[in-house]
Structure 1
């Protein structure tokens, strides 16, 4: 399969991860972040399905998780496309055209990662509900889901921050970036807070998930 045709929805796991392993950057860490969110959503759906089928809260959580899984894969493929533009901008000859291309590609990449991060934050409450009210036999799956969700949040946070920092290559200072892109700048802090919340939620059920752990 042509590397240009590799997508999360049109490739096998083996094909997609093989493309990820190549030194091309497309797909890259941002796309991997989307896949981690899809994994978290898939596990959320699975646990919700085992936690009740009477049309109550578990059914609502499962429907949201299944929609998120699809959206996360779409966002992963969008990020892979953005990565191509990002890399192409930095390969241009120095000059005003290169600076503008870097500025545009950096902002598009940051915005894409911020959307993915926002979707990940929105998934925390449903997983938290399952951690308290879901099928207790699947607590280990919930912890794995939290781990995948944290990886998605951390990836989004890092990518937004890095992409904003890349604007310095187009001549902007970090103070200018903070002033000109307040929403993207604030997203970094919001995602950091989400990571802390996931850590707290995971710690709260760790004794159930790993009862033989020493300590």
Structure 2
């Protein structure tokens, strides 16, 4: 087993993991990178929530945000490793000799990869409201960290959206049209639209607090 194949988010240092990402292997690749970005967003969410001192009315919500962020970080790291595995299957499918067996291998790998991306996207979307709440009620001195978390979350959502869409479109290589793909995989198809809307929501949240996070930027003070 090569050095790159042994790399995982749980066992590798950041230096080793990003070195693996830099290699021309695709495992880990962009999807795994999106998972790590979600883990970063979850970690920053947890940090800001941990610094925040709630009043009695908001203690339960803050406690829930902390618990969800902790679970989301662990889940995101596992999904990053799962995506790396899915990438290997994808690459292997395209190496099969032309014919029905190759088409079936591509179909299965594409669906599996799209499902992996959609699952990551679901977890990322669930993080938006927690960060939006912290933007409003979290410790004000950490508003810049909230914006950084939104940036990482946006990268995770955009990555999940693009990968899911690309993976679905790859089914055309096995003879399906886009109309047939939509009819056969409506949930995965709809997830792309959901993630597109999530990006817009994140952008709106970030724009609404930019004047507090970057007060010296003329664009934020106009």
Report the counterpart of residue 38 of structure 1 in structure 2. 39
Report the counterpart of residue 184 of structure 2 in structure 1. 180
Partners of 1:189 and 1:204 lie apart in 2 by 23
May I ask how many residue pairs the two structures share in their alignment? 215
Partners of 2:197 and 2:64 lie apart in 1 by 26
Report the counterpart of residue 197 of structure 1 in structure 2. 201
* Pairing 1:82–2:70 present: no
Partners of 1:52 and 1:3 lie apart in 2 by 43
The CA RMSD measured in Å over matched residues stands at 1.1
* Pairing 1:19–2:20 present: yes
In the superposition, the TM-score normalised over structure 2's length comes to: 0.95
Partners of 1:29 and 1:52 lie apart in 2 by 37
Partners of 1:178 and 1:69 lie apart in 2 by 31
Deviation at 1:91, TM superposition (A): 1.0
Partners of 2:117 and 2:61 lie apart in 1 by 29
Report the counterpart of residue 94 of structure 1 in structure 2. 98
Partners of 1:146 and 1:178 lie apart in 2 by 30
In the superposition, the TM-score normalised over structure 1's length comes to: 0.98
Partners of 1:114 and 1:99 lie apart in 2 by 22
Report the counterpart of residue 211 of structure 1 in structure 2. 215
5+ long unaligned stretches in structure 2: none
Once the two structures are superposed, the pairs formed by residues 1-215 of structure 1 within 5 Å of their partners are 2-52=3-53, 55-215=59-219
Q: What does the per-residue CA deviation read over 1:187-212, in whole Å, with 9 as the maximum and x for residues that have no partner?
A: 00000000000000000000000000
